[in-house]
Structure 1
């Protein structure tokens, strides 16, 4: 059995941990179990060092420099709890109330706050957040808006055509604070959420991801802005910064609306959103413009017309969509035939590698050591056996740079060049 000193270089090579003492600390805690120590490293809050950048995380130094929060609406109701709401019992013109005090009341008694808990207006317990947790929540990726089947532009087009929706894409730069402001101020706004969920399929990619690079290649920042519903500013800003005709900085973040049928860029915003109200108005103008001028647009006015609208939509689905649906069914059929199999690490004499499985829904990471001669089918079998992380009966896909590995089920790890790779696990409902 290898000792801790032998495992430290392996630990560092997988986790990008630059400190040998930190590596030794994690190995000590896990009794020199390399797999468990790596898992613990990624699961703990302090387990990612400055050199390691997980997808769509942000520079904490930039976050700590920002202390202001967006305006918070404070309701007028001052009293409430699990039982409901009630108003102040005292009239506005009363300055005091009379209370009967029993003889055994001791004014020196002090209340014990140890059992006092806070609840919100819905009666849910409030958990106090640390500063770090608060920042993480405020600037986190808008998972409730993201269409999780749209892992690249091509898949977004297919699904958007089927649902008769536009595509809305946001490309981010993790080191740019304007990108973080979008998550905090724009994608968290309830009105914007409502518009997007009704009319768009949305996804957010980092500029380093395959889908992000593809977007910037197809729709360069210096390309002319369509300006279908946007209004040009009356005053030109001359601050030495390169801007487009709408006064936007030619830099990330960028937001684009894409036609799922033609692939044309219909509208875009560069450099972030400075006026949230105007952005809401522009989204509404875009939706109204095409709903009113597009004869093929499906307008659902009430519940009674749902069936008719769905029938019209099905009649409009093109042949490639049917092919895509058949492909999905074929993938599920292959997936269902794979039997769960317990994972056993290969011996030291067998060429092997470690593969990281990153859960798309919660960011959790699992690392497994596999033989280079194992097949992609074996990866699915190992995951299926892990009921704790892959619930029984769930259907999931393994992606690498936008490629669905179920399509290469009989190729080996070596043939697919998966050595030391990080696979994205996407659960499909």
Structure 2
């Protein structure tokens, strides 16, 4: 496309670039336009993506736009000379060769800079930024936080999509399973466990529809200690083994005192159904539950001692009657 553009066309595109990218030099505009084969929209997009990651710094000196003519004429001369030599001369002065088209490299570098701002390591592929990898990002709470300092409109739809499936960090207990169980026992609340899988989309649906429901969120935060874990972590495998869980995702109500599984739901659970099933656990905590059990045991065992006592009294009366009858019969025998 470079060969098809005239000098005036290039000058117009450079001017348009500088009108949008305020404060940049004509040299910067030429670099980005050449890198994108003189496609203005792609050059601007590349500029803003790279500038957001710190690739392009604002120019300290901004030449006037009128100097664009000299840049365009100089570049045209370089393009004509590039077929036979990498370095050309104009008016006896040596000039640098034209920049090669490195569009893929520039995009990858810029995206890797953007990845670091989202909490991802630079060595990960840039495709994670264009299409969010929820399997990996869900393991890192920081990756769900939106960069408030970013003004790029390109990131807005991506951040909105990520926020839909954000784990309920405001509800979650931070720590291992045993500490969550101990905290629930101290506070006298049931332990609500959500075991998730990064391979099951229903796990993300639970975050979006169930834990994101306002009524469910208020109910859980008030009456339960909520603990969420992934099945491929050490804590998740421990819980799967102990409770013999095969289907993921699963929601459990755990007695924090004994560790007993009181209730379970497998797969996607609608918020209305979950609220209805949790009502029975909101009437009383685990302490009330165990207190009720302890009161029931003496009633059932108190009947047996009374029966034993009654039986032993009856046997004593019968013995006395027997001895009295024997004594009377012996007196009658002596008289005869």
TM over 0.5: no
Question: TM-score category by the smaller chain?
Answer: 0.3 to 0.5
The structure with the larger Rg is 2
Structure number with higher helix proportion = 2
TM-score (norm 1): 0.34
TM-score (norm 2): 0.43
Structure number with higher strand proportion = 1
